[in-house]
Amino acid sequence: MSQSTAKVAFVASSGGHLEEISRLKEIEKKYDCFLVTEKSDFEVKDFCNRHYYVPQMNRKQAQFPIKFIYLFLRTIQILLKEKPEFIITTGALIAYPFCVVGKLLGIKVIYVESFARVNHPSMTGKLVYNLSDLFMVQWEDMLENYPKSMLGGEIF
Protein backbone atom coordinates (compact mmCIF):
# COMPACT_ATOMS: atom_id res chain seq x y z
CA MET A 1 0.00 0.00 0.00
CA SER A 2 1.34 3.45 -0.80
CA GLN A 3 2.14 5.92 1.93
CA SER A 4 -0.29 8.71 2.68
CA THR A 5 0.95 12.28 2.73
CA ALA A 6 -0.32 12.69 6.31
CA LYS A 7 2.35 12.71 8.99
CA VAL A 8 1.82 10.84 12.26
CA ALA A 9 3.70 11.10 15.55
CA PHE A 10 3.69 7.89 17.55
CA VAL A 11 4.44 8.63 21.20
CA ALA A 12 4.97 6.05 23.95
CA SER A 13 6.96 5.60 27.12
CA SER A 14 9.43 2.72 27.06
CA GLY A 15 8.49 -0.84 28.01
CA GLY A 16 4.89 -2.00 27.69
CA HIS A 17 3.59 1.27 26.23
CA LEU A 18 6.20 1.10 23.48
CA GLU A 19 5.43 -2.57 22.89
CA GLU A 20 1.75 -1.70 22.48
CA ILE A 21 2.33 1.12 20.03
CA SER A 22 4.66 -1.09 17.99
CA ARG A 23 1.67 -3.37 17.41
CA LEU A 24 0.14 -0.64 15.24
CA LYS A 25 2.44 -1.67 12.39
CA GLU A 26 -0.38 -1.72 9.84
CA ILE A 27 -1.14 1.94 10.58
CA GLU A 28 2.54 2.90 10.74
CA LYS A 29 3.20 1.50 7.26
CA LYS A 30 0.58 3.77 5.69
CA TYR A 31 1.95 7.12 6.86
CA ASP A 32 5.01 9.28 7.02
CA CYS A 33 5.72 8.88 10.71
CA PHE A 34 8.16 9.29 13.53
CA LEU A 35 8.40 7.70 16.96
CA VAL A 36 9.04 9.47 20.25
CA THR A 37 9.99 7.32 23.22
CA GLU A 38 12.29 7.26 26.23
CA LYS A 39 15.97 6.36 26.21
CA SER A 40 16.08 2.82 27.57
CA ASP A 41 17.30 -0.70 26.88
CA PHE A 42 13.89 -1.50 25.36
CA GLU A 43 13.95 -0.72 21.68
CA VAL A 44 11.57 -1.20 18.77
CA LYS A 45 13.13 -1.88 15.41
CA ASP A 46 11.42 -1.41 12.06
CA PHE A 47 8.85 1.08 13.35
CA CYS A 48 8.92 4.52 11.73
CA ASN A 49 11.96 5.88 9.93
CA ARG A 50 12.75 8.59 12.47
CA HIS A 51 13.06 8.22 16.21
CA TYR A 52 13.34 10.85 18.93
CA TYR A 53 14.40 9.96 22.45
CA VAL A 54 13.62 11.78 25.66
CA PRO A 55 15.01 10.99 29.12
CA GLN A 56 13.18 8.49 31.29
CA MET A 57 11.61 10.07 34.33
CA ASN A 58 9.62 9.15 37.38
CA ARG A 59 7.20 11.66 38.90
CA LYS A 60 8.41 10.64 42.38
CA GLN A 61 12.01 11.73 41.69
CA ALA A 62 13.26 14.98 43.22
CA GLN A 63 14.39 16.26 39.79
CA PHE A 64 11.00 15.51 38.21
CA PRO A 65 9.79 19.15 37.88
CA ILE A 66 12.94 20.18 36.01
CA LYS A 67 12.86 17.09 33.78
CA PHE A 68 9.16 17.63 33.09
CA ILE A 69 9.75 21.24 32.01
CA TYR A 70 12.56 19.99 29.75
CA LEU A 71 10.14 17.40 28.31
CA PHE A 72 7.65 20.15 27.44
CA LEU A 73 10.40 22.18 25.73
CA ARG A 74 11.61 19.10 23.82
CA THR A 75 8.01 18.36 22.83
CA ILE A 76 7.59 21.84 21.35
CA GLN A 77 10.87 21.47 19.48
CA ILE A 78 9.93 18.08 17.98
CA LEU A 79 6.38 19.04 17.02
CA LEU A 80 7.41 22.34 15.42
CA LYS A 81 10.14 20.57 13.44
CA GLU A 82 8.03 17.61 12.27
CA LYS A 83 4.57 19.25 12.01
CA PRO A 84 2.49 16.06 12.26
CA GLU A 85 -1.24 16.07 11.57
CA PHE A 86 -1.90 13.35 14.16
CA ILE A 87 -0.43 12.16 17.44
CA ILE A 88 -1.15 8.55 18.34
CA THR A 89 -0.12 7.60 21.85
CA THR A 90 -0.44 4.70 24.26
CA GLY A 91 0.89 6.78 27.20
CA ALA A 92 2.28 7.10 29.77
CA LEU A 93 4.07 10.09 31.24
CA ILE A 94 5.74 11.38 28.06
CA ALA A 95 2.37 11.39 26.30
CA TYR A 96 0.93 14.23 28.37
CA PRO A 97 3.13 17.07 27.03
CA PHE A 98 2.65 15.83 23.47
CA CYS A 99 -1.13 15.83 23.89
CA VAL A 100 -1.20 19.30 25.47
CA VAL A 101 1.21 20.94 23.04
CA GLY A 102 -0.31 19.04 20.13
CA LYS A 103 -3.77 20.39 20.88
CA LEU A 104 -2.41 23.93 21.18
CA LEU A 105 -0.83 23.51 17.73
CA GLY A 106 -4.02 22.12 16.20
CA ILE A 107 -2.77 18.54 15.90
CA LYS A 108 -5.37 15.75 16.21
CA VAL A 109 -4.73 13.57 19.28
CA ILE A 110 -5.56 9.86 19.40
CA TYR A 111 -5.04 8.21 22.78
CA VAL A 112 -5.17 4.45 23.29
CA GLU A 113 -5.64 3.49 26.95
CA SER A 114 -3.27 0.74 28.02
CA PHE A 115 -4.18 -2.91 27.57
CA ALA A 116 -3.28 -3.34 31.25
CA ARG A 117 -6.14 -1.00 32.22
CA VAL A 118 -9.06 -3.40 32.50
CA ASN A 119 -11.12 -1.73 35.26
CA HIS A 120 -9.43 1.49 36.36
CA PRO A 121 -8.25 4.44 34.28
CA SER A 122 -4.60 5.42 34.12
CA MET A 123 -3.45 8.80 35.37
CA THR A 124 -2.42 9.80 31.85
CA GLY A 125 -5.74 8.62 30.47
CA LYS A 126 -7.63 10.77 32.96
CA LEU A 127 -5.44 13.79 32.11
CA VAL A 128 -5.77 13.54 28.33
CA TYR A 129 -9.34 12.22 28.04
CA ASN A 130 -10.81 15.65 27.33
CA LEU A 131 -7.86 16.70 25.15
CA SER A 132 -8.21 13.75 22.80
CA ASP A 133 -9.99 13.90 19.48
CA LEU A 134 -10.34 10.13 19.69
CA PHE A 135 -9.95 8.18 22.91
CA MET A 136 -9.84 4.40 22.59
CA VAL A 137 -10.12 1.70 25.21
CA GLN A 138 -9.19 -1.94 24.80
CA TRP A 139 -11.69 -3.40 27.27
CA GLU A 140 -15.47 -2.97 27.22
CA ASP A 141 -15.59 -2.36 31.00
CA MET A 142 -13.49 0.78 30.48
CA LEU A 143 -16.35 2.42 28.55
CA GLU A 144 -17.90 3.14 31.96
CA ASN A 145 -14.82 5.16 32.98
CA TYR A 146 -14.59 6.94 29.64
CA PRO A 147 -18.15 7.31 28.27
CA LYS A 148 -17.07 9.28 25.16
CA SER A 149 -14.43 6.70 24.24
CA MET A 150 -14.46 4.11 21.51
CA LEU A 151 -13.93 0.41 22.06
CA GLY A 152 -11.00 -0.42 19.81
CA GLY A 153 -10.42 -3.99 20.93
CA GLU A 154 -7.12 -5.44 21.97
CA ILE A 155 -3.89 -4.31 20.36
CA PHE A 156 -2.26 -7.55 21.48
CATH topology of domain 7-151: Rossmann fold (3.40.50)
Write down the domain spans for the chain. 7-151
Q: Is the pTM of this model over 0.85?
A: yes
**What CA–CA distance (Å, rounded) separates 122 from 13?**
14
The pLDDT-based confidence of 124 (bands split at 50, 70, 90) is very high
Residue 118 CB contacts under 8 Å (≥ 6 apart), including other chains: 139, 141, 142
Residue 96 CB contacts under 8 Å (≥ 6 apart), including other chains: 124, 127, 128
Summarize pLDDT for 52-105 with one digit per residue, the tens.
999 998 889 899 999 999 999 999 999 999 999 999 999 999 999 999 999 999
More confident of the two residues 16 and 127: 127
Q: Is the pLDDT of residue 3 over 90?
A: no
* 134-152 average pLDDT score: 92
Measured CA distances, 67 to 125, 144, 145 (Å): 21, 34, 30
